[in-house]
Amino acid sequence: MLSKTDTDKCVACSTCVVQCPVAEVTTKFLGPRMLGPASERFRLLNDGEDSSLTYCANCKNCDISCPQGVGVSNINMLARAAYAKKHRPSFRDWILAHGELESRLAGIFPAALANFGMANPISKCILDKIGISKKADLPRFASKQLAAAFKAYKQPEQLSKKVVFFPGCFIKAYAPQTGMDFVWLLNKAGYRVELPDAFCCCGTPLYTNGFADDARKNAEKNLAEMRKWKEQGIKVLALCPSCELMFKEELPVFFPDLAHDGASYLENGEEFVLGCISRGELVIDAPGNAMKDKKIIYHAPCHLRALGSGMPGLDMLGSIPGLKVSSASAGCCGISGSYGFKKEKYDISMAIGSKLFQSIKNSNADLAATECGTCKVQIMHGTAMPCEHPVSILKHYLEKEQQ
Amino acid sequence: MSKKTDIIVVGSGLAGLTAALSARASGRQVLLITHGVGSLAVSSGCIDVLGYHNGCPVQDPIADLPQLNPEHPYSLAGAERVEKAIDWLQSLCLAGGLNMQKNLSRRNHELITVMGTLKPSYLCPESFCTECFAKARRAAVVSFENMKDVHPLLIIDQLHRYARFADMEFMEAMLPCPIDQSHRNVTPLDVARFVDTPEGLEWLRLSLEPYAKLYPILLMPPVLGVKNSQKVWGTLCDVLKVRIVEMVSIPPGVAGLRLREVLRNALNEAGITMIENALAVRAVADDKKCLSVVTSGAGGEHSWEASQFIIATGGILGGGVATSPGKAWETIFNIPIKAPENPQEWSSTEIFGRSFFSQMGVRVNADLKAIDDSGAVLYENVRFAGRTIGGYDYASEKSGHGTALVTGMLAGELAGKE
């Protein structure tokens, strides 16, 4: 048995129960300790499944809080995948899991039409019928998705160094500007960026919604492409903490045969930018009037906290002269990917996020910042405050300073 | 990649949190690195300074400090420092909306547990104080249906065995469970979270009203909210014209979570960044100077540089100390801890007796720096705090939170001065 999912490491201290954002707001969820390590022993007897397994949001606060290093959330996700093998997940879950496929279909139509197709009251009613909350703000497809925007963009020619960008499906379909801002920064630091067509969704929404086979296919494709670049000694960078966590922590547990060789070829894009700054490739010693006295409140996504790598986004914002940055430190936003879009989870999701919303509203900031795409959707939904990825904020600053 | 700051604290239990806060007070940059959240959130939330000494109950822990062995962390810190740390936490909590109180006669509180036993503690939330029983001799013991850890009849039966409560009149008050029937056991934390909402508070007020008319004291599990417990307690006592006494509960302890929230908020206001889910696996040192601590997590290994380090990683349960038969050692610097070779000598046949398991820890000097057998300092810029330190038996003494607080605050202050 993998040490990360070893149930015997659990001493039943109940720390995870106290820290679980879902258990905090609803008693419908059995809680991480009981559903994870405690139930796992019964699963070995193949003795049925607890009905509240779908209430785990896979936000990973149980793992973050556990003093013994038990991978509670992964125990839950493995159990969910095993359950889904015998009981087909719903059409609603298929829709939410396969967002990337839908974005490709949507790409055929003009974005306005595709978005109208999703956001008009009639569609919302239909979505609500299949179990997607009509109160939720589903993210909008961008008018030009990342692949098209990247193709249309001309990178400077004299760049000798090279990096590869793994954008993840959110940036690809809904926030291509974040991806392009990152490309701009990397170019400015002297790197040419590759955006391979072969990269597809990291598999997080697929696996957590019960489509393990589809997640496996994606993993095979992505890892093969990453291996190719790794062999050439070229770094692959990601901006989405959930994608990064999938490759670094979850794939080796979900598909140990695929990722046995140390899993990850993926690196944190923000850490790379910080490295560029400290190596002097990217210079921020301008007088700093572009963001003078602007106030930004930063939210650390749970999956970033779970990585245990620190807060490169917060460090990056802190490096911008004149900018006033504070950290919300208010826990989970509640969305957990597609969790908060589900009809029966919407209220739970909003109740979880209420602490963060309050903290952001109280901050009187001009702008919120976070790395995770769906955290961003949730923050804007819960606070009506604009929210940006830290790389975009750094790009705006440098661009303005240039003018 | 390596990152640099002034002072690094490893561990986010009571010792780590207080070390970070007191270090930050010096104006230096502080980074807190942690793996897990420590045991504070599931604890009683009361500060046990010294409950027993050599197996005998301690009345006044401060007066008894000079009798402790010279290696005891309290002896190293000095009695004055112990009192200073307690007062500091008290003012910190008050600023965060939680009124922590000493006993009026400056002796140990006798707190009531949900098992109906009495527990010595020095500093507790006002809502736990039991001095009101000196005047009022009648109380309703409140619990909730489906709350399997709190049984009024057991509590009443147990309390009657103590001379202090033998002649008291108690009544069982079982309230309906306010939480939807679910397959999950209801804990005081569930009810406390409900009471944090306006409808929950109103429900509790209405439910307690009939009992408040009959009895001057209501003895309850810690259900008076998590976020605003002080206010909830004050409001209910006022409107019901009654004194509410909360009992110390088993994990999840609720009051521990209240205290942790207060300290977390203070940390955030002080601008201290916390790196979570990062297990400190080793240190890089140049002779007697620690240069960096290396952490391992899902995101890979990271190196964190600082000029001062405070290690508050806990004991065996927290991961600060590891063991194999006949051996024990601190886990980041691999500092050996003297241990009986025969593992049978590690434990005690007396369940509440002293045992090596609750004593093992790093030997430190008055500066809280690790020392070897000859008394020489191992690392000039590394201090230890809380359970990682040896020289005391937190379980048999009932001194866990007290030692964490005193050494945490002292380590932070000393690191901030260097």
Average pLDDT over residues B232-246: 98
What does the radius of gyration of chain A's CA atoms come to, in whole angstroms? 21
3-class DSSP assignment, residue A143: coil
| Helix H or strand E segment including B337 | strand B336-337
Chain centre distance of CA A73: 16
Report pLDDT for A284.
Answer: 87
3-class DSSP assignment, residue A369: strand
Report pLDDT for A49.
Answer: 82
> Residue A263 pLDDT more than 60?
no
> Residue A117 pLDDT more than 90?
no
> Residue A332 pLDDT more than 50?
yes
Q: What's the rounded Cα separation, in Å, for the pair A198 and B337?
A: 54
Option in A50, A51, A309 nearest B300 (CB): A309
For the segment B68-121, what is each residue's pLDDT rounded down to a tens digit?
Answer: 999 999 999 999 999 999 999 999 999 999 999 999 899 999 999 999 999 999
Q: What's the rounded Cα separation, in Å, for the pair B307 and B302?
A: 17
Report pLDDT for B180.
Answer: 77
Q: What's the rounded Cα separation, in Å, for the pair B207 and A338?
A: 39
Please name which of B176, B167, B160, B172 lies closest in space to residue B220, comparing C-alpha atoms: B172
How many other C-beta atoms lie within 10 A of the C-beta of residue A372? 27
Say if B148 is an interface residue toward chain A (CB within 8 Å): no
Phi and psi (nearest 5°) for B359? -115, -25
Tokens 């000694």 belong to residue: A233
How many A/B residue pairs have CB atoms within 8 Å?
Answer: 119
Q: What's the rounded Cα separation, in Å, for the pair A69 and B280?
A: 12
Tell the CATH topology of A146-276: Rossmann fold (3.40.50)
Q: pTM for the whole thing?
A: 0.95
Q: What's the rounded Cα separation, in Å, for the pair B363 and B390?
A: 6
Cα–Cα distances in angstroms (integers) from residue A371 to residues A69, A316, A379, in the given order:
25, 12, 12
Which residues lie closer than 8 Å to B369 by C-beta, 6 or more apart? B377, B378, B379, B380, B382, B383, B384
CB spacing of B318 vs A249 below 8 angstroms: no
B389-415: b (≥16 Cβ within 10 Å) or e: bbbbbbbbbbbbbbbbbbbbbbbbbbb
> Residue B206 pLDDT more than 90?
yes
Chain centre distance of CA A294: 26
Option in B1, B180, B268 nearest A329 (CB): B268
Q: Answer whether B247's CB lies under 8 Å from B220's CB.
A: yes
3-class DSSP assignment, residue B374: coil
Q: Answer whether A249's CB lies under 8 Å from A311's CB.
A: no
Tell the CATH topology of A4-86: Fumarate Reductase Iron-sulfur Protein; Chain B, domain 2 (1.10.1060)
Using a pLDDT cut of 90, give the percent of chain A over it: 71
Q: What's the rounded Cα separation, in Å, for the pair A68 and A249?
A: 17
- CB contacts, 8 Å: B302 with chain A: 308-310
> Residue A51 pLDDT more than 90?
no
Closest CA of chain B from A381, distance in Å: 23
- CB contacts, 8 Å: B184 with chain A: 27, 29-31, 34
Residue of A nearest to B39 (CA): A15
Report pLDDT for A320.
Answer: 92
CB spacing of B252 vs A18 below 8 angstroms: yes
What does the radius of gyration of chain B's CA atoms come to, in whole angstroms? 22
Report pLDDT for A43.
Answer: 82
Average pLDDT over residues A197-214: 95
Strands (E) in A82-184, as ranges, are: 161-166
Token reading at A7? 């149930």
| Same fold: A146-276 with A283-401 | yes
List of long-range contacts for A364-367, beta carbons under 8 Å, 24+ apart: A364/A295, A365/A295, A365/A296, A365/A297, A365/A326, A366/A294, A366/A295, A366/A296, A367/A294, A367/A295, A367/A296, A367/A297, A367/A393
Report pLDDT for A107.
Answer: 73
Option in A14, A18, A307 nearest B298 (CB): A307
Tell the CATH topology of A283-401: Rossmann fold (3.40.50)
**What does the mean pLDDT of chain A come to?**
91
CB spacing of A309 vs B318 below 8 angstroms: no
Please name which of B300, B36, B273 lies closest in space to residue A62, comparing C-alpha atoms: B36
3-class DSSP assignment, residue A43: helix
Please name which of B372, B369, B265 lies closest in space to residue B311, comparing C-alpha atoms: B369
Q: What's the rounded Cα separation, in Å, for the pair A36 and A50?
A: 10
> What does the domain layout of chain A look like in residue ranges?
4-86, 91-130, 146-276, 283-401
Option in B38, B257, B275 nearest A67 (CB): B38
Q: Can you tell me the ipTM of this complex? A: 0.93
Name the β-bridge partners of B266: none
Chain centre distance of CA A223: 18
Option in B37, B186, B278 nearest A308 (CB): B278
Per-residue pLDDT band for A199 (boundaries 50, 70, 90) equals very high
CB spacing of A308 vs B277 below 8 angstroms: yes
For the segment A162-191, what is each residue's pLDDT rounded down to a tens digit?
Answer: 999 999 999 999 999 999 999 999 999 999
String of DSSP letters for A307-351: HTS--HHHHHHHTSTT-EEEE------S-TTTGGGBTTTHHHHHH
CB spacing of B277 vs A64 below 8 angstroms: yes
Phi and psi (nearest 5°) for B149? -95, -5
Q: What's the rounded Cα separation, in Å, for the pair B214 and A203?
A: 61
Report pLDDT for A1.
Answer: 40
Report pLDDT for A45.
Answer: 76
Report pLDDT for A27.
Answer: 86
**What does the mean pLDDT of chain B come to?**
95
For the segment B11-64, what is each residue's pLDDT rounded down to a tens digit?
Answer: 999 999 999 999 999 999 999 999 999 999 999 999 999 999 999 999 999 999
- CB contacts, 8 Å: A15 with chain B: 36-37, 39, 41-42, 251
Best mutation target, B29, B32, B37, to test chain A (most A CBs within 10 A): B37
3-class DSSP assignment, residue A374: helix
CB spacing of B184 vs A244 below 8 angstroms: no
Q: What's the rounded Cα separation, in Å, for the pair A64 and A50?
A: 23
CB spacing of B277 vs A274 below 8 angstroms: no
How many other C-beta atoms lie within 10 A of the C-beta of residue B373? 8
Residue of A nearest to B227 (CA): A355
For the segment A215-233, what is each residue's pLDDT rounded down to a tens digit?
Answer: 999 999 999 999 999 999 9
Q: By mean pLDDT, which of A191-200, B177-186, B400-409 is the weakest?
A: B177-186
Q: What's the rounded Cα separation, in Å, for the pair A190 and A186?
A: 6
Instruction: Name the B residues in 170-189 with CB < 8 Å from any A CB.
Output: 179-180, 182-184, 186, 189
Q: What's the rounded Cα separation, in Å, for the pair B56 and B342?
A: 28
Count Cα atoms within 13 angstroms, Cβ side, for B5: 26
Token reading at B213? 């008319």
Report pLDDT for A261.
Answer: 60
Q: What's the rounded Cα separation, in Å, for the pair A48 and A79?
A: 11
Alpha-helix runs per DSSP H in B164-319: 188-195, 198-214, 229-240, 255-269
Which residues lie closer than 8 Å to B94 by C-beta, 6 or more apart? B100
Q: What's the rounded Cα separation, in Å, for the pair B245 and B260?
A: 21
Option in B184, B257, B317 nearest A67 (CB): B317
Please name which of A195, A145, A138 lies closest in space to residue A346, comparing C-alpha atoms: A138
Q: Is the dihedral of CA A344, A347, A350, A351 positive or negative?
A: negative
Token reading at B218? 């209501």
Alpha-helix runs per DSSP H in A250-322: 251-254, 269-279, 302-307, 312-318
Closest CA of chain B from A199, distance in Å: 20
- CB contacts, 8 Å: A14 with chain B: 42, 251-252
CB spacing of B183 vs A13 below 8 angstroms: no
CB spacing of A308 vs B298 below 8 angstroms: yes
> Residue A240 pLDDT more than 80?
yes
Instruction: Name the B residues in 261-320 with CB < 8 Å from any A CB.
Output: 264, 268, 273-279, 295-300, 302, 314, 317-319
Using a pLDDT cut of 70, give the percent of chain A over it: 96
Q: What's the rounded Cα separation, in Å, for the pair B261 and B102?
A: 21
CB spacing of A67 vs B318 below 8 angstroms: yes
